[in-house]
Amino acid sequence: MINLGLRHLQQSLQKQQISSAELASVYLDRCRQFNPTLNALLYIADDINPEQLLTAQSAPGPLAGIPLIHKDLFSTRQVPTTAGSRMLANYVPPFDATVVSHLNNAGMLTLAKANMDEFAMGSSNEYSAFGSVKNPWDLQRVPGGSSGGSAAAVAARLAPVATASDTGGSIRQPAAMCGITGIKPSYGRVSRFGMVAFASSLDQGGVMAVSADDCALVLAAMMAYDDKDSTSIKADAWQWQAPQEASMQGLKVGIIPGWIEQLKDNDIKQSTLAALDTLVAQGAQLIEVDLPHAELAVAAYYILAPAEASANLARFDGIRFGHQSAAKSLDINDMYRKTRSEGFGHEVQRRIMLGTWALSSGYYDDYYCQAQRIRRLISEDFKQAFSQVDVMAVPVSPEVAFKHGEKSDGVSMYQADQFTIPASLAGLPCLSMPIQPARGLPVGLQLIGPYFDEHVILSTASKYQLVTDYHQQMPGAFL
């Protein structure tokens, strides 16, 4: 049962072959059984909230009674929400994030909250204040980050679906490293209300699941205009039609040969080329495109994201929010210093310092403004590319999941985002789907679409998943 898609689970519920309470308890048992090995979850419900169970039973639509896990940066009413930080270790929100309310209303049942890099900063999930997450395919390796808890949980089938967030790659990169499907919709599609902020102009909620079809079913319930988020988009209700046949006749797929050449791992290169061959065999036409400014994306992102983070994280001052140092302070500045030194981990402190520096007078024009210009140029590059193609297919990560502790300096970790950051800077919808593994470890292919065209990337992925079964493969130890 743990390998059935949402549509099958829904059928079993409708035919009363299983009740939603039983389904939830199958997954809750798995959470309890496997979490000590994976450390993917920071909170596991004792039982399913009876109120939720009632809504689930009466909710219309395909998600009624389907269990899920939320990344621990979505605020959940009366359930701890830590954002992977000591700063919020004891925070229990009095409200639900908009995403959480939408999914509750659709009848989904929250089983647990997923571990993550502190404040979603990281590419390996080693920066959580609550310990690193293990990759279910090889416990010595990282699951990717920052949504590594969500990705490891879905890969080990602790739930069929998990929410996640992506600022520079945090859905796509862990999805690729854990062998599951994960989508970040266009910026503005999913409300950020109640989602702990990292870099507000980039942060976007999304979803991880086994297949693109499952992601789409959940995304349809998540995406809606929200007047509580000023960057939320007013658009017609989004509808998902799952493709019935695998033909990609007439689809123009953009590829960037230079990015494929940059893949130093030959097995990843071969599996990327094989996936592109499959798209061609399904009728797609490959067209070479270029994003000439994308090589500057990592540098620009690591100015812009820390700059926004330094402003967003100013609210954690020990008075209004979160942890307060118990040590004796000389004055209020001393109290701030002690509180923030104890509450934030090293990577978060580094970003706050970098961001504050980039925004300070004298450096603002040279760094922050330049980075904004590069961001604009990258958006223009994409516009140009999408005047020639319907969708782009590019690598997700230059490497398979690496070993814990292998990337000890910040910069080599930052480079791991080279293929995911460009679409984030442009705010475009993008996903990662599993392709042929390399040396037994998962590999992903990234599909990027034009603004607000989540449909093209999801239907392309669904068609690919009609003719392949990489997305259904599970790590043996968790069967």
Query: What is the C-alpha to C-alpha distance for residues 125 and 123, in angstroms, rounded to an integer?
Result: 6
Position of tokens 């978060």? 348
Binding string, 130-149, against ligand GLN, x = CB under 6 A? ----------------x---
Q: Alpha-carbon distance 59 to 241, whole Å?
A: 20
122: contact with ligand GLN by CB under 6 A: yes
Output the smallest distance, CB 80 to ligand GLN, in A. 20
Residue 120 engages ligand GLN in binding (rule: CB under 6 A) = yes
In angstroms, give the least distance from the CB of 319 to ligand GLN: 27
User: Do residues 251 and 447 make contact, with C-beta atoms less than 8 angstroms apart?
Assistant: no
H helices of 201-256, in order, are 212-222
Nearer to ligand GLN among residue 338 and residue 407 (C-beta): 407
| Per CB under 6 A, 310 contacts ligand GLN | no
The CA distance from 214 to 209, in Å, is: 6
Residue window 353-392: x/- pattern of binding to ligand GLN, with contact defined by CB under 6 A: ----------------------------------------
CB of 223 to ligand GLN, least distance (A): 19
Q: How far is the CB of 323 from ligand GLN (least distance, A)?
A: 21
Question: Of 452, 457, 345, 462, which is closest to residue 390 (Cα–Cα)?
Answer: 457
* Minimum CB distance to ligand GLN, residue 66 (Å): 25
For residue 165, with 0-12 CB atoms within 10 Å meaning exposed, 13-18 middle and 19 or more buried, which class applies? buried
Q: Which is nearer to ligand GLN, 39 or 170 (CB)?
A: 170
**Minimum Å distance from CB 120 to ligand GLN?**
4
Does position 123 interact with ligand GLN (CB under 6 A)? The reply is yes
Single out the residue of 134, 97, 101, 84 nearest to residue 347, CA to CA: 84
In terms of Cβ atoms closer than 10 Å to its own Cβ (0-12, 13-18, 19+), residue 166 is buried
Does 20 sit near ligand GLN (CB under 6 A)?
Answer: no
Q: Are strands 430-438 and 285-288 parallel, antiparallel or unpaired?
A: unpaired
Active-site entry in 20, 123, 132, 146: 146
∠ CA 389-175-10 to the nearest 5 degrees? 95
Number of Cβ atoms within 10 Å of the Cβ of 36:
8
**Under 8 Å between Cβ of 92 and 79:** yes
Given 170, 232, 272, 418, the residue binding ligand GLN (CB under 6 A): 170
Q: How far is CA 37 from CA 153, 256, 477, in A?
A: 11, 39, 11
Any idea what DSSP says for residue 68? E
Among 166, 213, 214, 308, binds ligand GLN (CB under 6 A): 166
Of 128, 147, 170, 211, which one is the catalytic site residue? 170
Nearer to ligand GLN, 122 or 149 (CB): 122
Q: Is 308 in the site for ligand GLN (CB under 6 A)?
A: no
Taking residues 192 to 211 in sequence order and writing x for each that binds ligand GLN by CB under 6 A, - otherwise, the string is ------x-------------
- Of 46-54, 86-94, 163-171, 354-362, which part binds ligand GLN (CB under 6 A)? 163-171
Least distance in Å: CB of 317 to ligand GLN?
Answer: 23
Tell me whether residue 104 or residue 173 sits nearer to ligand GLN (CB atom): 173
417 interacts with ligand GLN by CB under 6 A: yes
Closest CA to 221 of 174, 163, 286: 163
Kindly state the number of chain residues that form the binding site for ligand GLN, as judged by CB under 6 A.
13
Dihedral (C-alpha) 415, 416, 418, 421: value to the nearest 10 degrees?
Answer: -110
**Region binding ligand GLN by CB under 6 A among candidate stretches 114-122, 129-137, 241-249, 355-363:** 114-122
Rounded to 5°, the CA angle 305-310-315 comes to 130
Does 170 participate in catalysis according to the annotation?
yes
Among 167, 191, 271, 272, binds ligand GLN (CB under 6 A): 167
Query: Minimum distance from CB of 233 to ligand GLN (Å)?
Result: 20
Residues 79-108 within binding reach of ligand GLN (CB under 6 A): none
Does residue number 426 form part of the binding site for ligand GLN (CB under 6 A)? no
Q: Using the rule CB under 6 A, is 110 a contact of ligand GLN?
A: no
Tokens 């049962």 sit at which residue? 1
Among 201, 209, 195, 2, which Cα is nearest to 102's?
A: 195
Where on the chain is the footprint of ligand GLN (CB under 6 A)?
Answer: 120-123, 146, 166-170, 198, 305, 417
For the annotated catalytic residues, the residue numbers are: 71, 146, 170
